[in-house]
Structure 1
Amino acid sequence: MIALERETAAADRARSPSGRPTRLVDTTMLYAPRSGGVKRYLLAKRDWLAANRPGVRHNLVLPGRKDAHDGQGLWSIYTAPLPFGKGYRWPVSKTAWMERLVRRRPTLIEAGDPYTPGLAALRAGEALGVPVVGFCHTDLPALAALHLGEWAEEPVRRRWSRIYNQFDAVLAPSRFVAQRLQEAGVARAQPLTLGADVGLFRPDLADRAALRTRLGLPADHRLLVFAGRPAREKRIDVMVEAVERLDPGTTLLLVGAGEAAPPSERVIGLPYMQDSTSLARLLASCDGFLHANPDEPLGLIVLEALACGLPVVGVRSGGVAETVDSEVGELAEASEPAALAEAIDALFARDLTEVSRRARARAVARHSWDAVFENLMEVYAGLTGDPNFAGAVAAREMH
């Protein structure tokens, strides 16, 4: 009886101005067993809300192997897998997806893609009279040009613009993506740089000797690492060729992306790492993080590498260039083997201990999830007028 009374009291506190419980629903198809940044963002948001916004009930509506509910707010809808899609699934029916969203009775919906879930979110928002946020995690026109040819970029850009202009707010993970949206005609697009779990990804997890022993390498061997999907846009071949230009005492460790790499004695491949603590320990035990995608929307793994005190070598373009500079790494002028190799050599010529210290400090100061989600809650509160999205001080000011 006491437990029921507590539950009822908590439910009464979790009310929006409309009188309904405050419910945030996130939906996207960019969520799979081996997916990266979007999945980590959603799970980090879920944990943060539970700890910092007890008046908000968070639901995730995602594609899955069957219709199911985990009892803690994660609802999966049976969706057929994409052929060769690495675990991703493509929802077909906007109407069925919309109905599932409507059943959650949300105060606000955030859509993480402009595909079926995003379109269904717009329909659900219209049906319920609630705001819908579109979070643009990928640069679709650039991906279309890369995978289909330059002819595909403009028609995709027009559709991209048409869809995102329907959302009540449009967020992007970097100034780079926000600008791309604005150039496509989405004037309201605004950047909301994502973050890293700086309490989990940290330098003191490093065990350099153990990692090199595990990989069969000398104790003084230099290790560069990349962790991510084996996707074409990641430019795995460029990274491999760059490392082959370096002295033999340097190896590239590919985590989750080894199957996309050309054969090389300078490369070691490891499978995708589901456990974040194991990934953090591995990152912290390397000497530098390597990233070759010139059009990366953000590179959440880059933020996690910085949090581990890992200097980053990237390309002077895209979202990575907004995070990495000479204080925390090196930027190549182009995504080409020679330029990338030159940047790696420049990094190893520096005092890596000092660069590592600055990398960690940068991640803590600028990229903790606390700062990210407080900013996001301001957006939500502004759209809904709901004090449960605001912090305690801000909620008092709203009244």
Structure 2
Amino acid sequence: MSMTDLDVQESELRLIPGLDVEVADTLRALKAAAMDDRPRLVDTTMLYAPRSGGVKRYLLSKKAWIEANRPGVSHSLIVPGARHKAGADGVVRLRATKLPFGDGYRWPTSVKRWSAWVAAMKPSIIEAGDPYTPGQGALEAGQRVGCPVVGFCHSDPAGLAALHFGEWAKKPVEKRWARLFSQFDRVVSPSRFIARRLEEAGVDNIVIRPLGVEIDTFRPERRDRQWLLDRLGLDQDARLLCFAGRPAKEKNVDVLIEAVQKLGAP
């Protein structure tokens, strides 16, 4: 990337009235990080908030794994935040509007500006974790710097739209979803169900990477059933079902509750 490219990006990134110092400080830190000559993986998504769940955990776990096992690779995250800030941990936060009733999630508005920030990181490969502004920005950044862009389809946006807004919202969201994911060089799916939904929408180049388990923590010999029964004040014959996650509508916790009720005593 030439100095001309960086200058163009700097002029693009400074078009935020009242935020000159904040943007300049973030850009300075970003440029310093970009001096690292190792191949750089840049992950970007809007599905990253103080209390967000699986996507954020996946990204932070990936970051920790790369640092421990692939010292020859640099890894950065570009995510929304309350203000522009480039942390020493490799996480770059860009100011974005907080979604009402969004449980801390923020929605970036400018695809062009997001693209400029991603491109300024000098990525060797980009992974986008959503089909929204960061996903579109990732595709533009990939075109700009000439690197491959992978899309990770963590969920079914069309199904979520139908769940929250009604069946009328499903088709238009599905068309837009398919059009965007078809532009990625590869699409990663965490399950056969999501892969099938992508295929039905006309997306190919799909790679299935099933979600895993942290086996150092979750392993049979670490269980202590008696301790848990005592802690919860339950009888020996109690059935235990555990849900770990945000109690959001799309998690279908009501299905688990109905299942417990159908089991009956004990």
Identity among equivalent positions (%) equals 55
Count of matched residue pairs: 231
Match of 1:200 in 2: 217
2:263 is paired with a residue whose SS is coil
Name the amino acid aligned to 2:109: V
Residue 61, structure 1, aligned to residue 63, structure 2: no
Cα deviation for residue 231 of structure 1 reads: 1.9
Say whether the 8 Å CA contact 2:175–2:201 is kept in structure 1: yes
Q: Could you give the per-residue CA deviations for residues 70-93 of structure 1, whole angstroms, max 9, x where no partner exists?
A: 202111112222111112111112
- Tell me the distance in 2 between the aligned counterparts of 1:44 and 1:142: 27
Match of 2:154 in 1: 137
Within the candidate set 49, 68, 78, 2:95 is matched to 78
- Tell me the distance in 1 between the aligned counterparts of 2:70 and 2:247: 36
Q: Could you give the per-residue CA deviations for residues 44-79 of structure 1, whole angstroms, max 9, x where no partner exists?
A: 211211122111000011112222222021111122
Say whether the 8 Å CA contact 2:84–2:94 is kept in structure 1: yes
- Tell me the distance in 1 between the aligned counterparts of 2:115 and 2:213: 31
Given the superposition, is the C-alpha separation of residues 200 and 84 from structure 1 closer, same or farther in structure 2, using an over 3 Å criterion? same
TM-score, normalised to structure 1, is 0.55
Cα deviation for residue 208 of structure 1 reads: 2.0
Name the amino acid aligned to 2:76: N
Residue 237, structure 1, aligned to residue 254, structure 2: yes
- Tell me the distance in 2 between the aligned counterparts of 1:20 and 1:165: 31
Cα deviation for residue 241 of structure 1 reads: 2.6
Cα deviation for residue 20 of structure 1 reads: 4.7
Cα deviation for residue 219 of structure 1 reads: 4.3
Q: Could you give the per-residue CA deviations for residues 303-334 of structure 1, whole angstroms, max 9, x where no partner exists?
A: xxxxxxxxxxxxxxxxxxxxxxxxxxxxxxxx
Match of 2:186 in 1: 169
Structure 1, unpaired ranges of 5+:
1-18, 250-399
Name the amino acid aligned to 1:166: Q
Question: 1:143-162 alignment to 2 at 5 Å?
Answer: 143-162=160-179
Structure 2, unpaired ranges of 5+:
1-35
Cα deviation for residue 193 of structure 1 reads: 1.7
Match of 1:34 in 2: 51
1:237 is paired with a residue whose SS is helix
Q: Could you give the per-residue CA deviations for residues 87-142 of structure 1, whole angstroms, max 9, x where no partner exists?
A: 21111121221121122111110000000100111111111111111111111111
Tell me the C-alpha RMSD between the 2 structures: 1.8
- Tell me the distance in 1 between the aligned counterparts of 2:185 and 2:258: 45
- Tell me the distance in 2 between the aligned counterparts of 1:205 and 1:33: 29
Name the amino acid aligned to 1:245: K
Match of 1:95 in 2: 112
- Tell me the distance in 2 between the aligned counterparts of 1:194 and 1:245: 28
Say whether the 8 Å CA contact 2:46–2:134 is kept in structure 1: yes
- Tell me the distance in 1 between the aligned counterparts of 2:146 and 2:230: 59
- Tell me the distance in 1 between the aligned counterparts of 2:228 and 2:157: 37
- Tell me the distance in 1 between the aligned counterparts of 2:83 and 2:56: 19
Cα deviation for residue 220 of structure 1 reads: 4.1
Match of 2:33 in 1: none
Match of 2:18 in 1: none
Q: Could you give the per-residue CA deviations for residues 226-278 of structure 1, whole angstroms, max 9, x where no partner exists?
A: 122222222222322332233343xxxxxxxxxxxxxxxxxxxxxxxxxxxxx
Within the candidate set 139, 155, 158, 1:122 is matched to 139
Cα deviation for residue 196 of structure 1 reads: 2.2
- Tell me the distance in 2 between the aligned counterparts of 1:124 and 1:156: 23
1:58 is paired with a residue whose SS is strand
Q: Which moved more, 1:233-242 or 1:55-64?
A: 233-242
Within the candidate set 235, 239, 245, 1:218 is matched to 235
Match of 2:7 in 1: none
- Tell me the distance in 2 between the aligned counterparts of 1:223 and 1:191: 31
TM-score, normalised to structure 2, is 0.81
Match of 1:52 in 2: 69
Match of 2:20 in 1: none
2:106 is paired with a residue whose SS is coil
